[in-house]
Amino acid sequence: MGSLISDDEGRYIGTEPWWKDALFYQVYPASFKDSNGDGWGDLPGLISKIDYLEELGVDVVWVSPIFESPQKDMGYDVSDYQKIYAPYGTVQDVDALLEECHKRGMKVILDLVVNHTSVEHEWFKESRSSKDNPKRDWYIWRPARYDDNGARHPPTNWRGYFAGPTWTWDEQTQEYYLHLYAPDQPDLNWENAKCREAIYENTMRFWLDRGVDGFRIDTVNKYSKRTDFVDAPVTDPTSPHQPAPEMWCNGPRIHEFIHEMNRKVLAPYNAVSVGELSLTPEPNQVIPYVSAQAQELDMVFEFSVIRLGNGNGFGAKYIYDPFPLSTLKRLTAKWQSFIEGTDAWATAFCENHDNGRAVSRFGDTSTPDLWSRSAKTIALWQATMTGTLFLYQGQEIGMTNMPPSWGMEEYKDIESANFYAEAVESGDGERVRKTMHGLRILARDHARVPFQWSDEPNAGFSDAGATSWMRVHDDYAAINAARQRHDPDSILSFYKRVMKLRKRYKDVFVFGSHKLLDPDDEEVWTYVKEGPGSGGGRDGTPRKALVVMNFSRSERGVGDVATALGCNEGDVRLLVGTNGPAPSQGRTWPALVAWEGRVYTNFDP
């Protein structure tokens, strides 16, 4: 099914796959809507909110993992891919979700977590039962190393994502198994063809046969590891465990594996795919995954922008590293334009379940007014990005990070807990202080507090008397969907408005080129989007939009709009602004007040 791309006057530009101009929305199901008062979000709760998503303009709902799991990493540790974790509901509830979405012309993708399983998965239980079990080789087992004193050491010195080593000793069979994440998340061995086939059949076709439309594919570039299992160079002398992404990321057979997954499963079902591609910061590494010709993935998430502020490397992830606006602009421009002249495709997003809230990281939450302005400017930024756009639950109402007054006991994520514990164990008070500071900005927990539906107790997420699994944010009476729904000046109303404009002028916003105009300005951010059509502008030139956003509290002029758009002043139009209508024509354009953003065009809105 293609989506016809034409300009305003109906001139045909091309046919593109439907998912390129679709709006995706990520639901973190534990925190979206609780229907039965147990404090844990669930599928019936999600189903009750589909109308809300439809009203926002969502085309595709991405549901983070809902499968059977001991929940050591919030379901990214699956113990049975064909069962639903009971607090979420049942397989029949998934059927109902599919039906309700499909009825409205919406689609659903599930989170596919197949770099690793839970230790509780039957495959791993078999694999660890004996060295000659047929599934032994479905996971990655290696013998110990011993030093001169006879002390046992893991096969390599690699550091895992959640701090600590990537290997855990198994007493029964006297070998170590590999886990890039928690010890409860053993890595599957993709080198084994039977294991790969079991993944395709058991975790993918099962759900596609039930009508799921595709997958967000977890840690997609970690399936192929280097198989010589050697030590990484020591770059962190304070730790026995060394960062080693070159050993297990984008490994030698990765493109073969992904291509096979596409050929055997994704393509036959016409399933849409978006892979999580961390640690891959160069376009020439990304393009092979998403070039149409390569037939691997439709899209990937590249992490340069969303990781801004994270400390360098692995151990320092939560030592906050401030960045200027110019860095955000340059990285955005890089990941907007990398597809130009190729058959690859981009994604745009500024939030997900693994990062702090965008308005707290890129905006200004110091007063309610600045919060509201900056959240709208972030909306404008996202709405004008080339590529497929992904929103994260709560972004559309400007949900903020957890209050800074909350202590470590409110942080439930395994990664936050482990990094904090590591800092404490180091005995270095300064490191503990810095880690806490970093967690307050960057922790994954911020995105996981319950969705704020209303000013009722528990923010309308759960029943009044319920204890929600994560504490409800203190600010829910001021920041909630019910309050914003009927307020035309709210962040939510602004999101709805710009999402419509993005679709109406998709040639410019979704499919256009991106040119950054002011790389060194640390307050204002200006870029031009140009549609692929040959005309459509008021003067017959290609349709263009100038996006100009004030990412500061200073009042700032907008510069020469007409020259930036390459047209006469009389042909400039204001398409939309975060502060509502501004004069639509004229020689001089009013200055931008704090955190104001506007889009000017060379065509009639």
Our measurement of the distance from residue 457's CA atom to the centroid of its chain's CA atoms, rounded to an integer in Å, reads 29
Question: Site for ligand GLC (CB under 6 A): which residue of 59, 276, 364, 530?
Answer: 276
The length of the chain in residues reads: 605
Out of 77, 218, 354, 507, pick the active-site residue: 218
Q: How far is the CB of 72 from ligand GLC (least distance, A)?
A: 10
Rounded (to 5) percent helix, strand, coil in the chain: 35, 20, 50
Pick 224 or 552: Cβ nearer ligand GLC: 224
Part of the chain binding Ca ion (CB under 5 A), chosen from 38-46, 157-165, 321-329, 371-379: 38-46
Pick 73 or 296: Cβ nearer ligand GLC: 73
Nearest-angstrom CA–CA distance, 502 and 482:
24
Pick 461 or 603: Cβ nearer Ca ion: 461
Say whether residue 6 binds Ca ion (CB under 5 A).
no
Pick 5 or 84: Cβ nearer Ca ion: 84
197 counts as catalytic: no
Nearest-angstrom CA–CA distance, 480 and 497:
18
Q: Write the DSSP string, 166-208.
A: SEEEETTTTEEEE-SS-TTSPBB-TTSHHHHHHHIIIIIIHHH
The token pair at 583 is 């004069």
Say whether residue 419 binds ligand GLC (CB under 6 A).
no
Pick 40 or 67: Cβ nearer Ca ion: 40
Pick 273 or 374: Cβ nearer ligand GLC: 273
231 counts as catalytic: no
Closest CA to 108 of 214, 19, 188: 214
Say whether residue 396 binds ligand GLC (CB under 6 A).
no
Work out what residue 73 binds among ligand GLC, Ca ion, none; the CB cut-off runs from 5 to 8 Å by kind. Answer: ligand GLC
Question: Site for Ca ion (CB under 5 A): which residue of 36, 133, 168, 418?
Answer: 36
Spell out, one character per residue from 90 to 119, where the chain touches ligand GLC: x when CB under 6 A holds, - when not: -----------------------x------
Say whether residue 76 binds ligand GLC (CB under 6 A).
yes
Q: How far is the CB of 48 from Ca ion (least distance, A)?
A: 12
Helix (H) or strand (E) holding 546: strand 544-550
Say whether residue 93 binds Ca ion (CB under 5 A).
no
H helical segments located in 384-458: 414-425, 429-442
Question: Site for Ca ion (CB under 5 A): which residue of 7, 42, 77, 415?
Answer: 42
Work out what residue 42 binds among Ca ion, ligand GLC, none; the CB cut-off runs from 5 to 8 Å by kind. Answer: Ca ion
- Spatial neighbors of 359 by CB under 8 A, at least 6 apart, are 365, 371, 374, 375, 378, 398, 399, 400
Question: Site for ligand GLC (CB under 6 A): which residue of 7, 354, 396, 507?
Answer: 354
H helical segments located in 450-600: 481-485, 491-504, 506-509, 561-565
Closest CA to 110 of 26, 49, 219, 46: 26
Say whether residue 494 binds ligand GLC (CB under 6 A).
no
Helix (H) or strand (E) holding 379: helix 368-383
Question: Site for Ca ion (CB under 5 A): which residue of 40, 76, 495, 600?
Answer: 40
Our measurement of the distance from residue 563's CA atom to the centroid of its chain's CA atoms, rounded to an integer in Å, reads 36
Say whether residue 141 binds ligand GLC (CB under 6 A).
no
Work out what residue 276 binds among ligand GLC, Ca ion, none; the CB cut-off runs from 5 to 8 Å by kind. Answer: ligand GLC
**Residue with the two structure tokens 């502060």:** 579
Tell me the three state secondary structure of residue 265: helix
Say whether residue 73 binds ligand GLC (CB under 6 A).
yes
Nearest-angstrom CA–CA distance, 526 and 547:
6
Nearest-angstrom CA–CA distance, 346 and 334:
11
Tell me the three state secondary structure of residue 597: strand
Positions in 196-255 near ligand GLC (CB under 6 A)? 218-219
Pick 76 or 190: Cβ nearer ligand GLC: 76
CB atoms inside a 10 Å sphere around CB 55: 11
Say whether residue 181 binds ligand GLC (CB under 6 A).
yes
Work out what residue 36 binds among Ca ion, ligand GLC, none; the CB cut-off runs from 5 to 8 Å by kind. Answer: Ca ion
Could you give phi then psi for residue 187, rounded to 5 degrees?
-75, 135
Say whether residue 42 binds ligand GLC (CB under 6 A).
no
Work out what residue 181 binds among Ca ion, ligand GLC, none; the CB cut-off runs from 5 to 8 Å by kind. Answer: ligand GLC
Out of 7, 68, 276, 364, pick the active-site residue: 276
DSSP state of 8: T
Q: Residue 115 carries which side chain, given as an amino acid letter? A: N
| Dihedral-angle region of residue 456 (phi above 0 means left; psi in -120 to 50 means alpha; beta otherwise) | beta
Q: How far is the CB of 9 from ligand GLC (least distance, A)?
A: 43
Say whether residue 463 binds Ca ion (CB under 5 A).
no
Closest CA to 182 of 62, 72, 25: 72
Catalytic residues: 218, 276
Q: Which residues bind Ca ion (CB under 5 A)?
A: 34, 36, 38, 40, 42
Give the interface with ligand GLC as residue ranges (CB under 6 A).
73, 76, 113, 181, 218-219, 276, 353-354
